[in-house]
Structure formats: C-alpha cells, structure tokens
C-alpha cells in the first residue's frame, strides 16, 4: 500500500481540499490577533470534531484559506458550517469591541464559501485511464 494514502477500516484515501471563507460584506475585520486566534480555533475544530489534518492556514484582512485533508466519512458542508459557526461565535465573544466596529448584527462570515479539491492527475488523464480499462467479457 502506498504510504501517501490514509487508511481506515474500509478504505484508503487521499482527500485534500482548499477552503476559502470570506468575511461578511468582505469587511477587513481580520487583524493579526484575530488571525492567530482563528488559526487556533480552526486547528482545534478540524482535528477534534472532524479528524481533519490542517496542512496550511493563512488569513488576509477579509478572508481565510485552509488547506486540509479529510476522511471520506465527513461531509465537507458540515465541516464548513461547523467551522464558520464556532469561529464566528468565539471571535465575536473574544474580540467584541473590535468586531462591533464592523457589524451591528451578530455576523462574521459571509454565507458563501469556496472549496476546491486538490492534487491528483488532471481530469483528462483520469478519463483516458478509465477508458483504457478492459471491458468485462
């Protein structure tokens, strides 16, 4: 078995995602202190709740990027929903004075997000590989 894959009871897998989450109204609310705390919360939520491994994390003033691996049993939409809910709640509580300058309602993240799968061969290569397999006789 290739050591590049993760293994559980019934599968071997390598599922890597790039998640981008944007602040509500693209407000530039994320400063260095919030970014550091956001990273701590994200690492905790991703590992403890979903058994995901965060490979890379970074923020800009109005969005965050997370590169992570997830097991196949986990729904990506549930990860995103939980992550946005927990980080928003904790950040609004811990940085209330700073965040209230940008939002009068309990917002932090936009409703939308971007998630991309990463790695592996290009789709055309995979299609050709599948097409080249022997048809059962």
Across the strands, what pairs with 12? 7
Backbone angles phi, psi at 4, to 5 degrees: -75, -10
Domain edges within the chain: 6-131
Angle at 114 between CA 113 and CA 116, to 5 degrees: 150
Q: Once rounded to an integer, what is the mean pLDDT over residues 24-48?
A: 97
Contact 42, 34 (CB under 8 A): no
CATH superfamily of 6-131: Transposase IS200-like (3.30.70.1290)
**Each residue's pLDDT tens digit, 76-111:** 999 999 999 999 999 999 999 999 999 999 899 999
| Residue reference for tokens 């549930």 | 78
pLDDT (average), residues 68-83 = 96
């Amino acid at each position: 078995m290739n050591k590049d894959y993760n293994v559980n009871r019934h599968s071997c897998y390598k599922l890597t995602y790039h998640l981008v989450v944007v602040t509500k109204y693209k407000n530039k609310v994320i400063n260095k202190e919030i970014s550091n705390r956001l990273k701590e919360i994200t690492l905790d939520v991703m590992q403890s709740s979903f058994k995901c491994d965060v490979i890379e994390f970074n923020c800009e003033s109005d969005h965050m990027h997370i590169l992570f691996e997830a097991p196949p049993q986990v729904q990506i939409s549930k990860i995103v929903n939980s992550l946005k809910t927990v980080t928003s709640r904790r950040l609004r509580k811990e940085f209330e004075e700073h965040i209230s300058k940008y939002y009068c309602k309990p917002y932090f993240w936009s409703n939308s997000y971007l998630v991309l799968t990463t790695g592996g061969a290009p789709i055309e290569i995979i299609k050709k590989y599948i097409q080249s397999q022997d048809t059962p006789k």
